[in-house]
A and B are shown apart, each in its own frame.
Chain A
């Protein structure tokens, strides 16, 4: 069993959070206990910190990546 932190944007429904937790259990093939935190900075999506990896599926993370991608070509 491992512990993980799940950060979600405000307004994320409980069903969505449960769905994310279930997906990670399937991915990692083990029981994971999530501590859920709301972070307005994410804007949307989620960030999960599990087993030494950070899974960043947040809108703010994607916007940062877009910014780097745009600047990288200039």
Chain B
């Protein structure tokens, strides 16, 4: 009976509370702005008599169909629909929302696959906590500080020769099927446990590809700190146009809280094509390669929002890895040159290297990081100094050696060392290296540890060396991982253990 009375009291209190809240509501008529669809074709609608319209304003055609006002005319707007407009007819009412396109931003976007306008597409319910406009000005000069903290990708060739810092924009460029997405995905996988929020923005990709990438993230525990923003190839050009800006906005919100963010835009070539499609349908004048005149601004305003913020602004950072697909290895085409000039360096992937088994297929001659060694750990600086030169010398000698069979000892030694260095830089997909592993491999190269190992045994030797060091000197590796530096005693210990390993490995051959 007492329990029944308690429940009854609770219900009464709840009912009273609900009644009080409803009573506080003041019902009033609403006045909304609206226009009329005068023309609809190819997912572009002309809306007339829409007062107070703004550029980039979100328009509601129905409960499920939205559009963006991108063309302002004297008595109407040209609006690009975000959803298929099969049910939109001439004469339909269009309501202006009074605000620009926005997307969901909050901590609960982590681990989710969302559309650019903040709806869930991973089949689970999603309630956005806040919205933020997708177009915002980039941080000014005073709010920034120089890039000086490494962003580990876990890919040895990049961390040693093309180092990326937090807040940098590093372009990944190459032909189709050269491993561009793999590099970006591996960089995300390597952020596990490093307190970096990752956002993967898929633009114009196949839904099956995005599902595979999501599965890779799930399998490797990366999904808990990653958000995927997806505008697939089946989505409208307007959705594909919005996707990178939505991803950037989500990243900016985390950056404002002082956190480090890594955003991957995969890929901006498809983004430019979607923007071209929209612009041509809006009858904007075409320029070079039929792209509109502001295609540079399309990418520059996106990438300028990635920054390393000053400590007075929270000290957060947003690192961008935009991806561009070239055709026939031509990096001097229109969109590639635009984005190369915007970013702080590029990682150039070659089909020839990929097909010859060098993966990641990075052309270290054409790749560069304009931030450079400022974004490297002290330990890495000690072991990576002459790598580019060594590789360049090896490539030159390798071409030269094809023409003759009589080579002197020096040349043979250089060739052998170059082959082993190339083998060191080969890396399995989805297996990023820890900093200590990278230092071990480069120190082994620097100290000529691999000299007694035949070139064709390198692929077995490398994991064996890493395993040996983890077993025999875990303390030294931990010092490197935690401090990012390696003093003389640690270096000496490492070299002597590696020599022991080399003798044992060579003896067992």
Contact = CB atoms under 8 A, between A and B. Distances in A.
Given A66-B22, A70-B21, A52 B49 contact: yes
Interface string B80-95: 0000000000000101
A52 B27 contact: no
B33 interface: yes
Interface in A40-74: 45, 49, 51-57, 61-62, 65-66, 69-70, 73
Interface string B3-34: 00000000000000000011001011111111
B32 A54 contact: yes
B24 to A, nearest CB: 9
A54 B31 contact: yes
A68 to B, nearest CB: 10
Contacts of A73: 21
B50 interface: yes
Contacts of A49: 34, 93
Contacts of B34: 49, 52-54
B51 interface: yes
A65 B49 contact: no
Contacts of B29: 45, 55-57, 61
Contacts of A53: 31-34, 51
B35 interface: yes
Q: Interface centre among B22, B29, B31, B95, by most A CB within 10 Å? A: B29
A66 B34 CA distance: 22
A52 B25 contact: no
Interface residues of A, number: 16
Given A49-B34, A66-B22, A54 B27 contact: no
B33 A66 contact: no
A73 B31 CA distance: 23
A41 to B, nearest CB: 13
Interface in B19-69: 21-22, 25, 27-35, 49-51
Contact of A56 (B25, B30, B49, B50): B30
Given A49-B34, A61-B30, A62-B27, A54 B93 contact: yes
A25 to B, nearest CB: 17
A52 B21 CA distance: 34
Nearest to B49: A52
A28 B375 CA distance: 65
Contacts of B22: 66, 70
A49 B93 CA distance: 9
B61 to A, nearest CB: 14
Contacts of B33: 52-54
A70 B27 CA distance: 12
B153 to A, nearest CB: 42
Contacts of A69: 25
Contacts of B95: 54
A52 B30 contact: no
Given A66-B25, A69-B25, A70-B21, A52 B31 contact: no
B35 A65 contact: no
A44 to B, nearest CB: 11
Contacts of A70: 21-22, 25
A37 to B, nearest CB: 13
A66 B29 CA distance: 12
A53 B31 CA distance: 7
Contacts of B25: 66, 69-70
A62 B26 CA distance: 9
B27 A65 contact: yes
A66 B22 CA distance: 8
Nearest to B29: A57
B27 A56 contact: no
A62 B22 CA distance: 12
Most chain B CB within a 10 A radius of its CB, from A45, A54, A61: A54
A61 B30 CA distance: 8
Nearest to B95: A54
Interface of B: 21-22, 25, 27-35, 49-51, 93, 95
Given A53-B32, A56-B32, 18 more contacts: A45-B29, A51-B49, A52-B33, A52-B50, A54-B31, A54-B32, A55-B29, A55-B31, A56-B29, A56-B30, A57-B29, A61-B29, A62-B27, A62-B28, A65-B30, A66-B22, A66-B25, A70-B21
Interface of A: 45, 49, 51-57, 61-62, 65-66, 69-70, 73
6 contacts: A52-B33, A52-B49, A53-B33, A57-B29, A66-B22, A70-B21
7 closest residue pairs by CB, A with B: A57-B29, A62-B27, A54-B32, A52-B49, A56-B30, A52-B51, A54-B34
